[in-house]
Amino acid sequence: MATMLIQHKVKNYEDWRKVYDSVAGLRTTFGELSDCVYRDASDANKLTLVFDWDSLPNAQKWAQSPELKAAMEKAGVDGVPSVSFLNEI
Average confidence (pLDDT) over 55-72: 95
The mean per-residue pLDDT over the stretch 28-47 comes to: 97
Domain range 2-86, CATH architecture: 2-Layer Sandwich (3.30)
Q: What is residue 81's predicted lDDT score, i.e. its pLDDT?
A: 96
Domain boundaries, the chain: 2-86
At residue 82, the pLDDT reads: 97
pLDDT at 12 over 90: yes
Reply yes or no on whether the pLDDT at 19 is more than 90. Answer: yes
Round to whole Å and give the CA distance between 1 and 78.
29
pLDDT value at 89 more than 90: no
Could you tell me the pLDDT band of residue 87, with boundaries at 50, 70 and 90? Answer: confident
